Amino acid sequence: MQLHEFQAKELLERYGLRIPRGRIAGDIEQARRIANRLGFPRFAVKAQIRTTERMADGGVRFAASPDGVAATAAAMLGRVLTSQRHATSHEFVRWVLIEEAIACSLQLYAAVVLDTSTGRLVLLTSRNGGAGIETRAAGEPDLITKTPLTLAPTGVHGAFEDAAASLGLPAATTATAADILRTLAQMAVELDAVQVEINPLALTPSNELVALDAKLQIDDHAMFRHPGLAAFREAVTKEEDDPHELGADRHQINYAALGGTIGLVANGAGLALATLDMLHDFGGSPANFMDIRTTATSLDIAFGVELVLNNPNTKALLVNVHGGGMQRCDTIAEGIAVAVSRTSRKLPIVARFAGNNADFAGVRLESAGIAFHPASDMTSAVRSIVELTKD
């Protein structure tokens, strides 16, 4: 779950880090009222979108009065902000964060991220933070310093003091910086975060360190351990995410609509992705990605299959399942049977079952009166479904 800036900052504040004072607004008049109430000499108005180059894309602007805040909010709210670097990346602006514009003498970069190649947390720091650091770092590999972190029963350990010292801060502030870096690591561990980032971490003229912007991404599969973050998830998902994807997630299924005509039911992300690749190779167009988790029940699976069947773009259904120790083929077949019984749409089905209880799966579909084309292997299954969907 990728949090919005205002949510990430709320968590930073809970952990004792300093953030600018501010409020979130969802309409123009609310933005004006908030600015009047806050009464800052200068405001930062920030579109709450989850992109990497928000400043360059016009998502961060400044205003000197409540009327200026309202005008700036009007230019953002209800608009789609498109990335200049990635033309296909765009987000609808539903909120703006109105906060105090803080003067700074230095903009630092600080983050703790999960290195997926090693499975370890890494501390990232730079004296040259601020907008565009991703672009700059691509051309200057030494711009960002990487410090490996180690997890132990006593907490997370690393050379936080050395990393802070490399930032070239005043002596009195270096110790504070080390504490901030240590806190980011603590947050990553305690929140199951794959990214906790402050950019910029601003040094003010009074030598204070303030988090002017923040990113925080939490591992979706660990959300069950954080019921206190449910409100954050609702705020994000209710407004922005695909309700079908959200419903599937609650039913132990990873699902994403793709816009094609061949519906896919598969278990395991690797098998699902391989099936999508093969569909493309044979000239087919997938309607969705689906990965049934091992924890899904037959009723969970029925929910996911219904999403596929009720998609008006879907012309045929491909079932490619390999039963394992924790997810049997007949459990998935049971879910398919329930889904078919609940919908009036009758689509051509090609089914390939392999592994645990594969024979029982076919029998279960037949006993439910479901007509399907059996396939002995993945290649023949994909070839058959593509033929069935040809115009």
10-residue mean pLDDT profile of the chain (391 residues): values are 92 97 94 97 94 78 98 88 54 89 96 92 95 85 93 90 95 95 96 96 96 93 82 62 73 88 93 94 94 92 95 96 87 97 93 95 96 96 95 69
The residue assigned the tokens 């906790």 is: 196
Residue 244's nearest CA partner among 298, 289, 296 is: 289
pLDDT of residue 230: 75
Please name the fold of domain 1-20+103-241.
D-amino Acid Aminotransferase; Chain A, domain 1 (3.30.470)
Position 131 scores a pLDDT of: 85
Backbone phi and psi for residue 247, each to the nearest 5 degrees, phi listed first: -60, -40
* The model's pTM: 0.63
Tokens of 251: 């039913």
Nearest C-alpha neighbor of 266 from the set 315, 323, 334? 323
Give the residue extent of every domain in the chain.
1-20+103-241, 21-101, 242-388
Fold category of 242-388 in CATH: Rossmann fold (3.40.50)
**Residues labelled as active-site residues:** 109, 197
| Predicted pLDDT at 119 | 87
> How much is the pLDDT for 240?
52
pLDDT, position 234: 65
Count other Cβ atoms within 10 Å, centred on residue 346.
10
Q: Which of 144, 149, 162 is nearest to 115 (CA)?
A: 149
Tell me if domain 1-20+103-241 and domain 21-101 are identical in fold.
Answer: no
What span, in angstroms and rounded, lies between the C-alpha atoms of 334 and 368?
9
| CATH 3.20.20.370, domain 21-101, yes or no | no
